[in-house]
Amino acid sequence: MTYQAELIAVGSELLLGNVANTDARYVSEKLASAGVDVLYHTAVGDNPQRLRTVTDIARGRCNLLIFIGGLGPTYDDLTKETVCAVFGRELEFHQDVMDEIAAYFKNVFRREMPDCNRRQAYLPKGSLVFHNPVGTAPGCLFTAGGVTVAMLPGVPHECRYLTNHALLPYLQARQEGVILSHTLHVFGLTEPMVQELLGGLMDSAQNPSLAPYAKSAEIQLRITAKAETAEKCEVLIAPLLAKVQRRLGAHLYGMDMGSPEAHAVKTLKERGLTVSTAESCTGGLIAKRITDVAGASAVFPGGVVSYTNEVKAHILGVPGDILDRFGAVSEPVAKAMAEGARRITKSDLALSVTGLAGPDGDDRGNPVGTVYIGLAAPGGTEVTHLVLKGGRESIRQQAADYALTLLNRHLYNSDQKAKGENEHGKE
């Protein structure tokens, strides 16, 4: 089976902009890794008529429809009823599902199940049931006229659980062929510069395809191949990969690193190193991103969010005269913050960020977007000065991206240096 998928998210909160459609991102990423092409994302409100129309269009252009959301117990949860109407199916009651929901209420909420949750035990006739041990909304899957229809709950952790434990195993058992991608990480070039260097190699319609993707602190290049097996994908990819490596040289500093924080945690763990943080304008974002990674506790003792000069001085030990002389947003303060974090947490490395995320500049003439990033290491402390563009949230995200990328570049360079010395020693 070759699946071509459309994801249909149901919920007025998406159209009102109350939440981002993070479920679609998660499910898409998982489908891509399983070799399923996702052609469309659609979001529609809690409106049966529009959901019907959308379902009709989707089944005319895709053979895998994945509905997300609208499986809850309340009156505005209409996905099952509406989709069943389009496909001419009835809903049928599942006593075992009902028992699971009642048990979930008893064990987790420690109370009786309200009557309205009974609705959640009705599923399309002939469905494969996606039993849900992490919530009350079961998912399901059925096929009708060559179209596979799956339904997943919209609550993110339930959606994720059922994607991994029910939907993907089903699809993987039936999917023909494999899609395999590698992501190359490029530092110190802009997207147009990469395009000029790579010239005719970029074509997203080829197999393998090559496409650029601009991140805030680096450019990523994705090489994607489709073939019967992963090995055959690698054979297709190898010649293109070699050409790209030749053309970009030292600007390429890694492959398949994942997020900068995931790569940093992995590399630090491999080398038995730790890192701490001292954050002003990023306000805890770097610590949060490092601790997003499961297992971060092995490499991250902790950090300090020093939003005021008092906390910079009192907890991190930034000398008062440096704060007075240069101001909080300055190279010497970034240096002292990183060194302070390294000292008080006894870490091997430390990152610091001080800057102006906006809305206002400071009284020393620094514009919004001014950021100093410190990286303290046993061999000394380096400070990088940036002037970033964008709104407050964007500047904070970019500053965190840069800090983590600088940490990765530091780890890469020290590794290359060690290897070089090793090579030299062998001669």
Q: For the segment 140-159, give every residue that binds a second copy (CB under 8 A).
A: 155-157
Alpha-carbon distance of 293 to 84, in angstroms, equals 40
Tokens of 4: 């071509």
- Pick out residues in 298-337 that bind a second copy (CB under 8 A): 300-308, 310-311, 314-315
Q: Which of 320, 367, 391, 420 binds a second copy (CB under 8 A)?
A: 391
39 binds a second copy (CB under 8 A): yes
- Pick out residues in 398-427 that bind a second copy (CB under 8 A): none
Cβ-based nearer residue to a second copy, 128 or 305: 305
Contact assessment for residue 30 and residue 179, using Cβ atoms and an 8 Å cutoff: no
- Pick out residues in 359-378 that bind a second copy (CB under 8 A): 359
Cβ-based nearer residue to a second copy, 188 or 420: 188
- Pick out residues in 236-295 that bind a second copy (CB under 8 A): 277, 279, 281-288, 290-292, 294
Alpha-carbon distance of 240 to 335, in angstroms, equals 42
Tokens of 128: 């494969």
Q: Which of 3, 21, 97, 366 binds a second copy (CB under 8 A)?
A: 21
Q: CB-based burial of residue 114 (10 Å sphere; 0-12 exposed, 13-18 middle, 19+ buried)?
A: exposed
Q: Which of 172, 204, 229, 416 binds a second copy (CB under 8 A)?
A: 204
First to last CA, the chain: 55
Cβ-based nearer residue to a second copy, 177 or 420: 177
Q: Which of 122, 161, 372, 402 binds a second copy (CB under 8 A)?
A: 161
Q: What backbone torsions phi and psi does residue 372 show, to the nearest 5 degrees?
A: -115, 130
For a second copy, which stretch binds (CB under 8 A), given 34-42, 244-252, 265-273, 408-416?
A: 34-42
Q: Which of 127, 148, 267, 345 binds a second copy (CB under 8 A)?
A: 345
| Residues β-bridged to residue 67 | 8, 151
- In angstroms, the Cα distances linking 403 to 76, 345, 407, 414 are 44, 18, 6, 17
135 binds a second copy (CB under 8 A): yes
**The three-state (H, E, C) secondary structure of 227-262, written as one string:** ECCHHHHHHHHHHHHHHHHHHHHHHEEEECCCCHHH
Q: Which of 74, 172, 206, 413 binds a second copy (CB under 8 A)?
A: 74
Contact assessment for residue 1 and residue 131, using Cβ atoms and an 8 Å cutoff: no
Cβ-based nearer residue to a second copy, 142 or 287: 287
Q: Which of 381, 384, 394, 414 binds a second copy (CB under 8 A)?
A: 394
Alpha-carbon distance of 255 to 81, in angstroms, equals 46
